[in-house]
Amino acid sequence: MYKTVVLTMFALALIGVANAQIGPQIDSRMVSTESDRELSYFPSGVLLEPIVCGFENIVADLLWLRAIQYYGRHRQTDLMFGRVDHVFRTLTDLDPHFIEAFRFGALVLVEDAHMPEEGYELLKRGIRSNPDDGGLYFDLGFHCYLNQQYDRASVYFGHAANKKGAPENAARFAAFAQNRQGNLDIAEELWMEIYDGTTNERTRASAVFALKSIAAARDTTYLAERARAYQARFGGFPRSVDDLVKSGLAPAAPEEPFQTNYIIHPVTGEVRSWYLLGRELKRDVAVLSDFVKRFREEWGRFPKDAAEIVEYGYLQEEPQPFGARYVVEPATGEVQVVLETEPLAERDL
C-alpha cells in the first residue's frame, strides 16, 4: 500500500513537471471547449516520454484512471468527449503494449464520440505495436462492420481468425462481412462477443447499452409497421402505443429496454425510444450550447436558433431528431428543445 501511494505521488509529480515544461507550447486558442480544457493537462506522449523515462507504465496507469474518470463523467452528463482521442494517444504512446487502452479507447471514439476514423487509427497503431494480438484485429473489423464498411471488416476479421486472442467466430464474421450481410441479429451477436470477451466493466456496460439499443430498434421497427397499418385503417397515426393495442393492431405494448416508453410521432409515424431520443436531444443541446458561447464571443450576441448557427458556419446542418427544433433564449443563451408544442428546458432532458 505504501509503495502504491509513493508511486502514485511520483507519477503525479512527473506529470506536473511535464506540464510545466510542455504547457507553454499549448496554444490557448486550441483550448476552446470545456472538454478541451479538461484534457489540456495531457501533453503529447511523444513529448512526455523523455521526461518520464523509465516510469512510462506508472504514468500511463495514472492517466488511464484519469481517462476513465473523464469518460464516466461525460457519459453521465453531456455526452461530449472533446479531445478524448488525444488522451488515448498519450496513453498508448507511453505504453504501446497497453492493449486495453487501445481497445477501450477505440470503443469510446467510435461509439460515444462518433469519431470512427480516429478509432480505427488508434486500433491500427495498436496493431503496429502488437501485430500478434487477434483482439485488436477483431475490434477493427467489428467497428468497420457496424459502420457498414463491409470490405474493410472482412479483411480485419480474416486477419483476426489467424491470430491468438480473437473470438472463435472471427472467420464466420468475415464471411458475413464479405457477403455484406448487415442486420440486427449479426450486430447483436458481435456485441455479445465483445461482452463475453472482456472483463473491463466499462466495455461490458457499453455492450449492454448497445444490446438494449438493438432490442429497442427491433421494437420500433415493429411498432412503426403497426402504426402504418393503423393509419391505413383510421386515416391517421396513433397518438401512443396504447392506441395501437386498443385498436387490436398490436397484441401488447413491448417493454422498452431502458425502462421508459416508446413514443409515436403523430405526423410522420416515426417511433422512438424515449430514453434514446432523450440522450440524443441532450447531446444536441450540449453541442449547440458550446456553439452559442463561441457565437457570442465572436458576434457580441446570442444566435436566434440552431438555423443561425448553421448559417454562420459553426455547424454543417441543423439537427432535427423526431422533428425537434432548437431555440436560443435571447437574454441568457440557454438552448431549449421544442418538441411538438412542448418546450423542454435543458435541465429536463
Residue 49: its pLDDT value, please? 57
pLDDT the model gives residue 94? 87
In the structure, what pLDDT confidence band is assigned to residue 20 with cuts at 50, 70 and 90?
Answer: very low
Over 80: is that where the pLDDT of 121 sits? Answer: yes
Topology of the domain comprising 2-207: 1.25.40
For the chain, give the secondary structure using H, E and C: CHHHHHHHHHHHHHHHHHHHHHHHHCCHHHCCCHHHHHHCCCCCHHHHCCCCCCCHHHHHHHHHHHHHHHHHHHHHCCCCCCCHHHHHHHHHHHCCCCHHHHHHHHHHHHHHCCCHHHHHHHHHHHHHHCCCEHHHHHHHHHHHHHCCCHHHHHHHHHHHHCCECCCCCHHHHHHHHHCCCCCHHHHHHHHHHHHHCCCCHHHHHHHHHHHHHHHHHHHHHHHHHHHHHHHHHHCCCCCCHHHHHHHCCCCCCCCCCCCCCEEECCCCCCEEEHHHHHHHHHHHHHHHHHHHHHHHHHHCCCCCEHHHHHHCCCCCCCCCHHHCEEEECCCCCCEEEEECCEEECHHHC
Greater pLDDT, 39 or 141: 141
Q: Is the pLDDT of residue 123 over 50?
A: yes
Residue 2 pLDDT grade (very low, low, confident, very high; cuts 50, 70, 90): very low
Give me the chain's average pLDDT, please.
Answer: 84
So what's the pLDDT on residue 43? 57
Q: What is the pLDDT of residue 243?
A: 96
More confident residue, 119 or 340: 119
**pLDDT confidence tier of residue 281, bands split at 50, 70 and 90:** very high
Does the pLDDT at position 54 exceed 80? no
Predicted local confidence at residue 298, as pLDDT: 96
pTM for this predicted structure: 0.81
Please give the pLDDT value at position 25: 38
